[in-house]
Structure 1
Amino acid sequence: MASSAETLDAYYANDTFLAPRIWEEASRWFPNEPHMVEFITGHSLSCAGRLPLICHRGTVAPDGLAAMRDAGLAVADTRLVYETRAQYRDHILSLAGKALKAVTIYWTPPEVAPPRMTWIDPAVQQYLNNKGNLAELVPEQAVPRRKLAAGGAEVTAALRAMPLPTVLKVATDLPNGGGQDVMICRRPRHRARADRRFGNGDTLIFEDVLDIAENHCVQYAVLPDATVAYVGASSQLCLPNGVHAGNLIDPDLAPSDEVIALGREIALRGAALGFRGIAGFDIVVTGDGRPMAIDLNFRLVSSTAQVLLHPRLSRERGLIASRLAFCAFDGSLNELLRTCRLHINAGWLVPLAMFDPIYGQAGPGPARGRFLIFGESQEAVAAREAVLEASGIQIAGRRRTFAGRTRALVKRLVVRLSRGWTP
């Protein structure tokens, strides 16, 4: 059974605070969209609870916070707002001076967050989140067949010899996310593209392409006493190139006991090395029913707020499915909210995080939002996605039609029937 707590202060020690900004110098394998390093600092506003949170001014525009509250969310109690990098670092030093420890979502250079001020040893954080170490943290039977090539000539030779299709991943200690460090090579021309993208000294992982029937992000909390609690799960929506485009929660897509048990074992191994906090693991189920771990995120992930808040919000609305949507709007945040107001009032649209570059004095760029789109079914959610898109809201991955999700559901049904399940 998943934990019922919906705020992060239930999972982190009382002497911690959230320091979620990624540092530009370490953001090579992170989405490079405008303002993204600032927007991510507001992703936990809806679920931080009493944990102090350092967040950019653009994430706390009054109209955005009001919309979140109107949707039934409790905005973080203690917010330390910054506009510049120097102000962000000053907040870290100030809180650390009060004997609080920084929960750095991504590895942060020591000149910004010295190791003595962080809750998790930075070396442990880097090790656990380096894709090259996955096979050391996952039971052998749940590791896809893979091999590593250390950069330069070795990578170039391996690219020439690799079978197609192959999944390429970068083994890096730097922060990574959103599929930016992943490439699926399907055609001969992809070899040269991969060499340009990855052939620059990084160690590269060559991994088998799996026949995927289910794709879950399962989340666990390693509590301060090192015990592990299952937090919940969502199904991942990915583009054909592997880029993450949102998450879906629906009872029909819940992970099996085998998937949950595999994730728990991985969390326990991380706990033994010193990790504490919430982690999210990408675990797929193959067409023949095998759970396989394809990525380990020992940190808060994109869907953490969705997983924590969905049970209550779903129950209050009587709507069983929710889709986490990453949205942008070529206009002001006020215009975006005017477009969404009727849907927020109707209860099926919940803003989890907002970004206003104007209020944040962050320079030109689109207004952004992370929304939960609720529906009676996946089909109802898809119809509401179309309503938002027709009003000018750009939803990441929206072009992945429902046909793709239907194929995934059919594969899941085949797996269940093969295990003796009856409708």
Structure 2
Amino acid sequence: MSTNKLHIPLTMHDLYGDNVLYSSRPSYGFNPWLQPEEHQSNLLSARELIIANMPVIVHKATVTEKIQKLLEIKGVRMPEQFVTYETRSEYENIIKAYAKQGKIFFQYAHEKGFVHDDDYVVRRDIFLNLNNKSIIEKWTNGAYLPKREIVKYTDFEQRVREWTLPFVVKPGDEHPTAGGYGVMLCYTDEDVEQTVRRVHEATDTDQLIIEQFIEPVKNYCVQFAYSEARGITFLGASIQNVEKYGKYRGNTTDRNIPEAVIEAGRKIMQNGVDAGYVGIAGFDILVDKDDQLFAIDLNFRQNGSSALLLLDNLLEGEYKKFLAYYSNGDNQQFYETILEEVKHGNLFPLAYYDGDYKSENAFPSRFICIWHGDEAMIEQKSKDFEERLTGEVHAE
């Protein structure tokens, strides 16, 4: 099969324009609520490379011959618009140098003063406000909210013990969170005490949110995109798979999104646009057994399932599943298993972080992908694949 560029109907370049560099990884700076290990952050740097069509700063281990070969099997040419880094100093120097000639779209806001606020595509202060969980009612017009209380850090321990279980605790300041990190679900008194201990460790926190736990029938991530030229575009919605204690485990497609969910998301997106937002945004909206809607998290940024939705019509099959996998240490076996499955035709590679890029098994390799095909077949294939892989299954 000859390789070619994917003809994606909407890319990040269409939204952000020229002279913009995209960074998908968290800052190297300390964040008490988002402390992924460095390899995870490096993997994330390339998660949106396929849908970008614009300069992206990626770790060198994500653009090796291995990912190129996986893409070639799918008939896709490796994107060329990227700049690579290996170390913290290289990453930071590249960002700062680019900011002198263009703008940056940060997936996660970096420390104040890292670059000027106006060097962000969406000004840093606006970006932080849009993603601040404590003022979510501003963007929902006070609708779709669970019962919640915002408490000062110093008052948290007393107030949290006065709430009735179950409930959820979240950071209520400008620190970004993702993938369930920083979200603490409390079902038991033991969970409450563990949460208190976790909060005590996060001394660089001004306030926290205690929120009613909603038992969802469906957990949607409904996504929109905005540019001045295109206006607001509905990208679709996916089902979020979340563990009992809130850890995000990927997304699957859903063809029957309630109109009420789409309309709620559109209203939120419009409020964000009115405040100055440009780009892709995804809103976590729960539907309970009474068909009530609850907006529990607003992410004015790309999301794990953004590529899933943007590539939906380009990948065969009605059912799509976004997942990530980590090697158990045998990187060669990990890659060969992936290679074999990609050849079978139902696995699309988004990113491969090569633990062998300098020396064999230097660190565990990681892989982000989309399964596509018939639902029953994909569920069985992915289960069999995980057994052969003998590694860990994760979502980013």
- With normalisation by structure 1, the TM-score equals 0.86
Task: Check 1:61–1:245 CA distance in 2 against 1; reply closer, same or farther (3 A cut).
Answer: same
Quote how far apart the aligned CAs of 1:86 are: 1.8
1:142 partner SS: coil
Letter in 2 for 1:227: G
8 Å CA contact 1:131, 1:171 repeated in 2: yes
The correspondence for 2:340, drawn from 342, 352, 367, is: 342
Letter in 1 for 2:59: H
Q: Identity, % of aligned pairs?
A: 26
2:133 is the alignment partner of 1:131:
yes
Letter in 1 for 2:157: T
Q: Which residue of 2 aligns with 1:282?
A: 284
2:314 partner SS: helix
2:214 partner SS: coil
Which stretch of structure 1 is more off in the superposition, 84-93 or 108-117? Answer: 108-117
Q: Which residue of 1 aligns with 2:352?
A: 354
8 Å CA contact 1:63, 1:334 repeated in 2: no
Q: Which residue of 2 aligns with 1:272?
A: 274
2:224 is the alignment partner of 1:220:
yes
8 Å CA contact 2:280, 2:302 repeated in 1: yes
2:170 partner SS: strand
1:178 partner SS: coil
Quote how far apart the aligned CAs of 1:21 are: 2.6
Task: Check 1:14–1:224 CA distance in 2 against 1; reply closer, same or farther (3 A cut).
Answer: farther
8 Å CA contact 1:151, 1:204 repeated in 2: yes
Q: Which residue of 2 aligns with 1:203?
A: 207
Letter in 1 for 2:73: D
CA distance in 2, matches of 1:206, 1:257: 29
State the Cα RMSD in Å. 2.1
Letter in 2 for 1:328: Y
Q: Which residue of 2 aligns with 1:112?
A: 114
Q: Which residue of 2 aligns with 1:142?
A: 144
Quote how far apart the aligned CAs of 1:358 are: 3.1
String of CA shifts for 1:241-292, please: whole Å, max 9, x gaps.
Answer: 01111000142xx321111111111111111111111111101111111222
Quote how far apart the aligned CAs of 1:226 are: 8.2
Task: Check 1:384–1:145 CA distance in 2 against 1; reply closer, same or farther (3 A cut).
Answer: same
Which stretch of structure 1 is more off in the superposition, 339-348 or 327-336? Answer: 327-336
Letter in 2 for 1:90: N
The correspondence for 1:89, drawn from 87, 92, 116, is: 92
8 Å CA contact 2:16, 2:121 repeated in 1: no
String of CA shifts for 1:320-378, please: whole Å, max 9, x gaps.
Answer: 1111112101235443221122221111111111101331679943110011122311x
Task: Check 1:32–1:65 CA distance in 2 against 1; reply closer, same or farther (3 A cut).
Answer: same
8 Å CA contact 2:219, 2:286 repeated in 1: yes
String of CA shifts for 1:85-131, please: whole Å, max 9, x gaps.
Answer: 2212222233333x321111110124433323221111111111111
Quote how far apart the aligned CAs of 1:26 are: 3.7
8 Å CA contact 2:331, 2:361 repeated in 1: no
Q: Which residue of 2 aligns with 1:53?
A: 56
Unpaired runs of at least 5, structure 1: 398-423
CA distance in 2, matches of 1:376, 1:162: 44
Q: Which residue of 2 aligns with 1:42?
A: 46
Letter in 2 for 1:116: D
Quote how far apart the aligned CAs of 1:203 are: 1.3
String of CA shifts for 1:155-197, please: whole Å, max 9, x gaps.
Answer: 0111110100111111121121011111111111112111111
1:87 partner SS: helix
CA distance in 2, matches of 1:364, 1:32: 18
Letter in 1 for 2:188: R
Q: Which residue of 2 aligns with 1:372?
A: 370
8 Å CA contact 2:218, 2:288 repeated in 1: yes
Unpaired runs of at least 5, structure 2: 1-7
CA distance in 2, matches of 1:37, 1:83: 12
Quote how far apart the aligned CAs of 1:77 are: 2.8
Task: Check 1:73–1:237 CA distance in 2 against 1; reply closer, same or farther (3 A cut).
Answer: farther
Q: Which aligned pairs between 1:303-318 and structure 2 lie closer than 5 A?
A: 303-314=305-316
Task: Check 1:276–1:96 CA distance in 2 against 1; reply closer, same or farther (3 A cut).
Answer: same
Q: Which residue of 2 aligns with 1:407?
A: none
Q: Which residue of 1 aligns with 2:3?
A: none
CA distance in 1, matches of 2:382, 2:35: 23
CA distance in 1, matches of 2:45, 2:360: 14
1:47 partner SS: helix
Quote how far apart the aligned CAs of 1:297 are: 0.5
CA distance in 2, matches of 1:64, 1:224: 34
Aligned length: 384
Q: Which residue of 2 aligns with 1:173?
A: 174
Q: Which residue of 1 aligns with 2:303?
A: 301
8 Å CA contact 2:66, 2:352 repeated in 1: no
CA distance in 2, matches of 1:309, 1:56: 23
2:326 is the alignment partner of 1:324:
no
1:89 partner SS: helix
Q: Which residue of 1 aligns with 2:381?
A: 384
CA distance in 2, matches of 1:100, 1:332: 41
CA distance in 1, matches of 2:358, 2:292: 47
Task: Check 1:12–1:360 CA distance in 2 against 1; reply closer, same or farther (3 A cut).
Answer: farther
Letter in 2 for 1:79: F
Letter in 2 for 1:42: A
Task: Check 1:390–1:265 CA distance in 2 against 1; reply closer, same or farther (3 A cut).
Answer: same
Q: Which aligned pairs between 1:183-202 and structure 2 lie closer than 5 A?
A: 183-199=184-200, 200=203, 201-202=205-206
Which stretch of structure 1 is more off in the superposition, 114-123 or 263-272? Answer: 114-123
- With normalisation by structure 2, the TM-score equals 0.91
CA distance in 2, matches of 1:272, 1:250: 29
String of CA shifts for 1:359-417, please: whole Å, max 9, x gaps.
Answer: 1679943110011122311x3222112111111132138xxxxxxxxxxxxxxxxxxxx
